[in-house]
Amino acid sequence: EAGVTQFPSHSVIEKGQTVTLRCDPISGHDNLYWYRRVMGKEIKFLLHFVKESKQDESGMPNNRFLAERTGGTYSTLKVQPAELEDSGVYFCASSQVRGFSGNTIYFGEGSWLTVV
Amino acid sequence: AQSVTQLDSHVSVSEGTPVLLRCNYSSSYSPSLFWYVQHPNKGLQLLLKYTSAATLVKGINGFEAEFKKSETSFHLTKPSAHMSDAAEYFCVVSDRRNQFYFGTGTSLTVIP
């Protein structure tokens, strides 16, 4: 069974440009999460989809970030325009069971974004 | 509110000696706790989890962790370190909405 896959694995863009990160969750997983780790900081929650609906987007830093999950399958996270402080690793994760505390979340390998 | 504190940002051990990575948590109710590992340029891999069953939890690769409510701790241990254990380790607590809160990570170095 394929795990959570993310694309691109690495991206270097200039300040002001746009980047779109893609995540394919484990097949059959309704829950999809985005997390991010900026340099030297802890990994922080960005948002949570249940199927195609945004369940919780309280962690999104500002309106330069837009996440979508059309059809409840893969998700994209767009940063437009990118700023220097957006550099970091963006992790996607998915899980199967909803509404259950202690449910295991499976992470992808991350998309490493560098804004120069 | 939920949070975790990883007491050491870096730990260095010799190969074959015990590993102890410390984690303290804060939670307003009985928590679910996890340890994840990230090897260089790899994703986050689940080592083990505690969800209010046995307080001593065994994970993959010989790791285990003990939930101690009185000390609000969930320290990760391994009897004998291997070179392949060199990685960054994250202690995580989840809330009732299954939102994860990560510690700042502990980087483990294993000296040959």
Q: Average pLDDT of each block of 10 consecutive residues along chain B (112 residues)?
A: 90 97 89 91 89 87 94 96 96 83 94 95
CA distance B74 to B30: 13
* Residue A49 clears pLDDT 90, i.e. is over it: yes
pLDDT score of A98: 58
CA distance B21 to B23: 7
- Tell me what the pLDDT averaged over chain A comes to: 91
pLDDT score of A1: 61
From chain A, the residues in CB contact with B46 under 8 A are 104, 106
Give the helix/strand (H/E) hosting A54. strand A53-56
pLDDT score of A35: 95
Chain A residues with CB under 8 Å of a chain B CB are 3-4, 31, 33, 35, 41-45, 48, 56, 91, 93, 95, 98-110
- A35 by DSSP, 3-state: which? strand
* Residue A100 clears pLDDT 60, i.e. is over it: no
Task: Return the percent helix, strand and coil in chain B, to nearest 5.
Answer: 5, 55, 40
- Among A6, A96, A107, pick the best mutation site for testing chain B contact (most B Cβ within 10 A): A107
* Segment A2-17 mean pLDDT: 94
pLDDT score of A101: 56
In the block, tokens 């997983």 appear at: A29
From chain A, the residues in CB contact with B102 under 8 A are 35, 42-44
pLDDT score of A23: 97
